[in-house]
Chains A and B, each alone.
Chain A
């Protein structure tokens, strides 16, 4: 079956991450195909060496892949990408454009929306097509206490950024036929930032894709946090901190979980000596399974936990330590 599409109704702006494609981009391609695959799904990918991802993008759901491959695009500059994407969109007029709500995506998408004059909904957790053409975008409001359904109006193009992990895991069909358009790149101006370098967040400090996150609150001391760090190395989990702990100097801001920090959705979230302020809950309520430890039986965190331990955190950490040692002995 020859499937030579010239245009696609739904586009997904994909994001390169390290040596592969960000999970959220693949999630969105599969979601787009599920929403209305017969009207065509296109992937847009930019970067140096972007051409090598066409197979996986197609397998995840793309019929058309627009590629901007140029060494000047290695910088992954949001403003530059936005302008290239906007002019491409203007050429082909898709109806729906989706992008992962990563830090990069949440900067690129609004710039594209502003250039084109499109309605954009941020950080969606749900997408449905109503009556074929209207995209119903669901997103959390007020730290997740409410959900809001948003629709685009007065704009032919409907745009949405989508929270990583909110859509189902991608399905891959490597026999899908696809067509690749290599787009021409020309430098627009000299406003791109000069990058000196990046210092990787230490192991256990990055929440991206973390299956297990253990977070400490201001009730813990520096010793407690260093124990958590050690634990994270042994168990392979990430370490987070409450806002109060960061303000007390116990952890850097990059570890902060909450409305004013990072929103996480791990499989397991362990909250240690965290009271459960509204702004913190907003950051972790999407966790699949939550275990909370707090001295105070009435701490609000227990309303969002599956397992509650009312105890001094030091006792629990000591028990964890002995459990691990026991486990290791048994394994020998």
Chain B
């Protein structure tokens, strides 16, 4: 069974500082981490492998620094690591990214289950998963809380919707975009660490994917950010009150809001 997990390296939210002059994110001193819901997707993939056998194939697309998340993926149980990076792909929007990832999957020889996080904490679109599923011509389920492989090969899953948790199943191949859930840092064992050391990261560039510059990167993107700017609403001015006064205000405002 081939389980492909798509992982993205993102800036740690707590470290994000906005440069007030250029209205862009300041890049120095930012810790780069594995996107939280991708981390959950990876854990789900490794769990499936442990229970049913197969291979966990970790794929990331980004700059070379992103190999760090692949190393982490290896420690967490991934069997193969692929770094998709090419200067042509820089600036890809979700459409171009999904295209590159789908070609990567075809280049690698297909998959049975695709797992990814429900959305990245930097872009926050949640679009790559569903777009990728279309390019791969497989069904897609978003906002998945948990999933299991049944003995008949179908995947039974729970999906978190606004007002209910849906219990359903479908056949593979399929793509599941997984919610963060409870993200626990994985504590590796000595053997996990030893195993991870031996896994080499394989680079994939456009030499392998042969997509060309027009369908990828900025040129291949169908959306573009025209400008970024600050919220115009002023920062709230906090009025401090004591517990008794505060309780009164809470009740008053709550009643007002509900009526």
Interface residues of A (CB under 8 A from B): 78-79, 82, 102-104, 106-111, 113-115, 117-123, 136, 140-155, 191-201, 206-208, 211-212, 235-237, 246-247, 253-254, 256, 259-261, 266-268, 270, 277-279, 282, 289-293, 302-311, 315-316, 319-320, 322-324, 327
Nearest A-chain residue to B214, judged by Cβ: A154
Give a binary string over B160-181; 1 marks a CB under 8 Å from any A CB, 0 the rest. 1111111111110000000111
Contact A195 B166, beta carbon cutoff 8 Å = yes
Given A155-B222, A195-B168, A303-B236, verify A107-B142 contact (CB < 8 Å): yes
In the assembled complex, the Cα of A110 lies from the Cα of B181 at a distance in Å of 23
User: Is A120 a contact of B223 with CB atoms below 8 Å?
Assistant: yes
> Taking the nearest CB of chain A, how far is it from the CB of B115, in angstroms?
15
* B187 proximal to A (CB < 8 A): no
Chain A CB within 8 A of B251 CB: yes
CB nearest neighbor in A for B141:
A193
* Residue from B156, B224, B250, B256 within 8 A of A291 (CB atoms): B250
Closest B residue by C-beta to A198 = B164
Task: Check if B247 sits within 8 Å of A120, measured CB to CB.
Answer: no
Q: Is the CB of B224 within 8 A of A103?
A: no
Which secondary structure dominates where chain A touches chain B?
A: mixed
Query: CB < 8 Å: which of A201, A279, A327 contacts B14?
Result: A279
Most chain A CB atoms below 10 A, which of B14, B130, B166, B241: B130
Contact across chains for A201 and B251 when beta carbons are under 8 A apart? no
| Chain A residues within 8 Å of B225, by CB | 148-150
Q: List the interface of chain B (C-beta within 8 A of A).
A: 13-14, 16, 18, 23-25, 36-37, 93-95, 98, 121-122, 124-135, 139-143, 145, 156, 160-171, 179-184, 221-231, 235-244, 246-251, 253-258
Which residue of chain B has the shortest Cβ distance to A312 in the bound complex?
Answer: B243
Interface of B is mostly: mixed
Q: Which chain B residues border A192 with CB–CB below 8 Å?
A: 139, 170
Q: What residues of chain B lie closer than 8 Å to A237, measured between beta carbons?
A: 254, 258
With both beta carbons as reference points, the residue of chain B lying nearest to A137 in the complex is identified as: B223
CB distance from A61 to the nearest CB of B (A): 23
Further pairs besides A115-B134, A146-B230, A200-B164: 16, Cβ < 8 Å = A106-B126, A107-B142, A110-B125, A110-B134, A111-B131, A113-B127, A121-B223, A122-B94, A143-B13, A148-B228, A153-B221, A195-B167, A254-B165, A268-B253, A309-B243, A310-B240
- Among candidates B24, B93, B142, B165, residue contacting A201 with C-beta atoms closer than 8 Å: B165
A152 touches B167 (CB 8 A): no
Interchain CA distance A201-B165 in the complex, whole Å = 7
Q: Is the CB of A320 within 8 A of B168?
A: no
Q: Which B residues are CB-close (under 8 A) to A327?
A: 251
Whether B162 lies near A207 (C-beta < 8 A) is: yes
Known: A147-B229, A307-B238, A309-B240. A236 touches B224 (CB 8 A): no
Contact in complex: B14, A277 (CB < 8 Å): yes
CA distance A191 to B250 in the complex (A): 49
Residues on B with C-beta less than 8 A from A141 are: 124, 228
Please name all residues of chain B whose beta carbon is closer than 8 Å to the beta carbon of A197 when the two chains form the complex. 166-167
Contact residues in B for A307 (Cβ distance below 8 Å): 238-241, 246, 249
Are A103 and B222 interface neighbours, CB within 8 A? no
| A178 CB to nearest B CB, Å | 28
A235 touching B258 by the CB < 8 A rule? Answer: yes
**Residues of B contacting A304 in the complex (Cβ-Cβ under 8 angstroms):** 235-236
Residues from chain A with a CB closer than 8 A to the CB of B18 are 142, 145-146
Q: Once the chains bind, are B169 and A196 in contact (CB under 8 Å)? A: yes
B residues near A310, Cβ cutoff 8 Å = 240
State whether B246 touches A266 (Cβ < 8 A). Answer: no
- CB pair B181–A145 under 8 Å, yes or no, is no
Contact between chains at A117 and B250 (CB < 8 Å): no
Interchain CB contact under 8 A, A247 and B238? no
Instruction: List 23 A-B residue pairs with CB atoms under 8 Å apart, sorted by A's residue number.
Output: A107-B140, A107-B143, A117-B95, A120-B222, A122-B127, A140-B124, A147-B231, A149-B225, A154-B222, A199-B167, A200-B163, A253-B179, A253-B181, A259-B13, A260-B37, A270-B250, A277-B14, A278-B14, A305-B236, A307-B239, A320-B250, A320-B251, A322-B247
